[in-house]
Structure 1
Amino acid sequence: MKRVNRDIILLIASMGIFVEALDIAIVNLAIPEIEKDLGLTNHSSYQLQSLYILTYGCFLVLGGKLSDFFGRKKIFLWGTGIFLLTSLGAGLSHTFYSLLTFRILQGLGAALLMPAAFSIVNYYFTEPEERSKAIAVFSSFAAIGSASGLSVGGIITSYLGWSWVFLINVPILVVVMAVIYFILEKDTSVNSGLPDIPSAIVMVLVMLCITWTTDLLSEAAEHYPGILLCITGAAVLTWYLYTRLKTQASPLLSLEVLSLSSLKKGNLLFVLLGALFTGYLFMMSFLVQKNFHFSAASSGFLMMPFNILSVIVARFALPKIVGKISSRHLAVWGNLAMLAGAICLVAAVQYHNLVFLVAGGSFIAGIGMTLCFTGYSVIAMERVPAEHLGVGGSLTTTSYLVGGGLGLPLFAAFMDTTAGVTNSKPVLILLAIALLCIGILKRDDRQSARD
């Protein structure tokens, strides 16, 4: 395939993941308007985020397996089509339950779209150096989408209405589907059996148990029987899943792939990144609106420098950095930026200083997220075989979303959603996670030196 076509494929696959990443963050600053328009409580509006993330994370591995089985092009088109139609439905919704239904189905579309897009990039870029650069571009689009969501959501909500945080996806995805349909080569058939659906269902149940456990921990004294039941259920189901994966002729997940040290390390780092950045998004939306009393539009414009910085880092800095320094060093620099951002946010809370707030967001969303997401992606996928690229990509994103699901309740436990961030405890969690990631990466460097 010609180089120009591969570049177009990379761009379009990256646009698909950009929209998916944008959709996780874009709703945050729109939530007050949605609550006002639909008459919701804080708990109801929180479900718009938590259930989307939960559905997305629960079905990602199955989406990756379907991509490997039915073909990356076919599943990418199906996932994009579902995401497009549910975005349209969400934007046209006039009731909470209609909006919630379409939001959940959006998660299903994202679970098909993301691993297929990742598999496409890995399939068309095979040489180690060019694959690293392609993954860097692809991951930077995801990071930019995540970083720009708050800003874009606030501006769109104020000037066009909250419906357009969903409707904006439609024209972008129409173009993405058309280009992929006409440019991508036809999928090759796979003669193995159907994916192991029972294992996929068990995996969904395990994630539900983990998520429910985390949600109940905020009131542990009242819900300890439920917590104990969820932990027991997760342990029993995990044991059953492991046993099934060992005995199936065509397992949902290859234990050999799961045992790859690079993938295990990458997944652990993505769990921590998901907790850090999802917690940051949740916390930042309250900081700017409750602590500093900005409107949704003003909040969006305030966060615009984060988006610009993220684009500059992804467009100009990353292509020059990738290949010259290792993915681990790239990730370390990303976590140092996260660390600097957390320190600035602590100062912003303590001294009620807007300069520290902007600096903190710039370090975390503008620099740290882009470098960490890119570095972790390369670390995780560097040894995954081509026939398992879809599942490998889905596992990293599943890890990120699991981290987000675990991190949100943790951050919320230290916050007052009516008053905002009243102390530095939730911000110190960001700092602790960044330090932990640096420790993991430095330990890996020492092990590599010994080997």
Structure 2
Amino acid sequence: MSSSTAPSGQSGTATAHRGAILTVILCVQLLSAIDITVMNMALPKIQHSLDVSPTALSWVLNAYTLAYGGFLLLGGRMGDILGSRKALMTGVALFTVASFAGGCAQETWWLLTARVFQGLGAALALPSTMALIVRTFTGQEERTKALGISVMASGIGSTGGLLLGGVLTDLASWRWVLFINVPIGIAVLALTPRLIARAEPQGGRFDGGGALLGTAGMSAVVYGFVHAADEGWSNTVTVGSFVLGFVLLCLLVRVESRHAQPILNLGLFTNRNRAGGFLVFVCSGGAMFGMFFFLTQFVQNVLDMNPIQAGLAFLPMSLGMIVVPRTLTPRLVKRYSPKTSMVTGLIMVAAGMVWLTRISASTGYFSGIMVPMLLAGAGVGLLNSPLAATILADVPPKEAGGASGALQTVGMIGGSIGTAVLVTVFGSAIRSHGGTATKSVLADSIATTCFGGLAFAVVGLLLVLLVIRTKKPGPAQQVTPQAARAA
């Protein structure tokens, strides 16, 4: 079917414009990935400019990831009800405006508020990209390849974000790491209506209460971890945050089990592979987000790299995330099984973490940092695309947006929790050295936090080994027009 004769419904359009839709998907995912890593490179400058405390600095990242993780479910449901194109464009528009506002920030609260709205915008846009992959690529092998390209886009975004953040922070200002999102967002908004036809809405209503309960509950839990880094585990506010978070999340489960159109379909978790896969994404997100956060501090504050050098230092990790999903992962999945690729990837991530537990103030970049980052990046490249394909397998088309939102939610929540847990470990390690953050103390404390990242990776590996069951894929399915329309 040619593009000129494609029906206005999304499924037919997905068939006619597969390459164009994948292009839009990559652009939106690049925008999101760049924004996460570009902020890592700007953290030291932001801390000095706005006088942010070391532990509160993590909220520059967590404000984004918490809003993103909390509202992804709403974004997925919005895509199902209103159509993927409308949800995507609404999210990108909000993200773009919030980026401009954040670049103008004069106070810490101003920047954190902008980061929250950036997270909300990304949450509205990103589930539609995953849903479009599910609906467009119906064969197992081709879907794995498309998801691999999606993972590759995240790797390119990580590379571009780190390098771009280093260049902009060093030569201009940390504010430009936010301003740079504006022209990218405008370009996406201009191209999307030309490449993706308007989808017919499926109807229904939003579960705003579920979204608010999920966001508030996870925010309370993560705040408890961050507060513990400053005040300890027995502090009244710390304990109160954990209790409040637990109560809100219990209410979320209760509300969703009775809601006619829940934002979180609890039935998604009844499938063994899907439930186990969600937990693995939490673990991998916890390991990798924390690793990014602390290694950024290490290369700049211990190795005395400037922002540009620090951005270049992360190229090995990003190279693994870019190349492996496109080359090695499909071959390993096809010859053996998705589980084999996942296990291999997590072993490589764990090996990288073990290596990093040995760093000290005398550790050089090439001898102690480059190789473990390459291992971890390649490991993520082997893990993510077959894991995502396993989670999204057999999801009904009408649930594609919700399932995609849930998938991305658990990854971002894992990243938030992982960063918070490792910040707690880091704060405790600093206090055990008397609270003076010399280069030696800083390096030893970062090495200690890598044991936490290792624990996340090991738990993820055990989950894959004991819970997830996959088979070697058969011959690639052919996508007929009828099958495409059904998707």
**TM-score normalized by the length of structure 1:** 0.90
1:165 to 165, 177, 185: 177
Secondary structure, aligned partner of 1:27: helix
Is the contact made by 1:260 and 1:383 (CA closer than 8 Å) also made in structure 2? Answer: no
1:85 and 2:108 are equivalent in the alignment: no
> For structure 1, which segment, 263-272 or 90-99, has the greater mean C-alpha deviation from structure 2 after superposition?
90-99
> For structure 1, which segment, 99-108 or 150-159, has the greater mean C-alpha deviation from structure 2 after superposition?
150-159
Letter aligned with residue 131 of structure 1: R
1:185 and 2:217 are equivalent in the alignment: no
- Cα 1:91–1:325 change in 2 (3 A) is farther
Letter aligned with residue 277 of structure 1: M
Shift, 1:177, TM fit = 2.2
Question: Once superposed, what is the RMSD of the aligned Cα atoms?
Answer: 2.6
- Cα 1:398–1:446 change in 2 (3 A) is closer
Is the contact made by 1:17 and 1:142 (CA closer than 8 Å) also made in structure 2? Answer: yes
Shift, 1:396, TM fit = 1.7
Distance (whole Å) between structure 1 residues aligned to residue 274 and residue 438 of structure 2: 40
- Cα 1:347–1:215 change in 2 (3 A) is closer
2:461 to 434, 438, 442: 438
Shift, 1:282, TM fit = 1.1
- 2:168 aligned residue: 156
1:22 and 2:34 are equivalent in the alignment: yes
Shift, 1:269, TM fit = 0.6
Distance (whole Å) between structure 2 residues aligned to residue 238 and residue 66 of structure 1: 21
Distance (whole Å) between structure 1 residues aligned to residue 236 and residue 337 of structure 2: 47
- 2:269 aligned residue: 258
- 1:101 aligned residue: 113
Letter aligned with residue 443 of structure 2: V
Shift, 1:227, TM fit = 4.0
1:50 and 2:58 are equivalent in the alignment: no
Is the contact made by 1:151 and 1:302 (CA closer than 8 Å) also made in structure 2? Answer: no
1:429 to 438, 452, 467: 452
1:75 to 87, 90, 101: 87
Letter aligned with residue 305 of structure 2: F
Structure 2 spans left out of the alignment, 5+ residues: 3-14, 431-436, 473-487
Distance (whole Å) between structure 2 residues aligned to residue 181 and residue 418 of structure 1: 53
Shift, 1:78, TM fit = 0.5
- 1:233 aligned residue: 244
- 2:211 aligned residue: 200
Secondary structure, aligned partner of 1:185: coil
Structure 1 residues 152-188: Cα deviation after superposition (integer angstroms, max 9, x where no partner): 3223311333222122222322232222211212211
- 1:403 aligned residue: 414
- Cα 1:306–1:160 change in 2 (3 A) is farther
Secondary structure, aligned partner of 2:201: coil
Distance (whole Å) between structure 2 residues aligned to residue 226 and residue 399 of structure 1: 26
- 2:12 aligned residue: none
Letter aligned with residue 184 of structure 2: I
Higher helix share: 1
1:338 and 2:361 are equivalent in the alignment: no
2:302 to 279, 291, 294: 291
1:312 and 2:312 are equivalent in the alignment: no
Distance (whole Å) between structure 2 residues aligned to residue 4 and residue 446 of structure 1: 34
Structure 1 residues 5-44: Cα deviation after superposition (integer angstroms, max 9, x where no partner): 2112112212211211221121112122223334444355
Is the contact made by 2:273 and 2:468 (CA closer than 8 Å) also made in structure 1? Answer: no
Letter aligned with residue 270 of structure 1: F
Shift, 1:447, TM fit = 9.2
- 1:128 aligned residue: 140
Letter aligned with residue 461 of structure 2: I
Shift, 1:60, TM fit = 1.1
- 1:115 aligned residue: 127
- 2:369 aligned residue: 357
Secondary structure, aligned partner of 2:401: helix
Distance (whole Å) between structure 2 residues aligned to residue 219 and residue 42 of structure 1: 10
Secondary structure, aligned partner of 1:42: coil
Distance (whole Å) between structure 2 residues aligned to residue 285 and residue 197 of structure 1: 36
- 2:47 aligned residue: 35
Superposition pairs for residues 369-384 of structure 1, below 5 Å?
A: 369-384=380-395
Q: Percent identity?
A: 25
Structure 1 spans left out of the alignment, 5+ residues: none
Secondary structure, aligned partner of 1:348: coil
Is the contact made by 1:148 and 1:304 (CA closer than 8 Å) also made in structure 2? Answer: no
- 1:217 aligned residue: 228
Shift, 1:228, TM fit = 4.0
- 2:19 aligned residue: 7
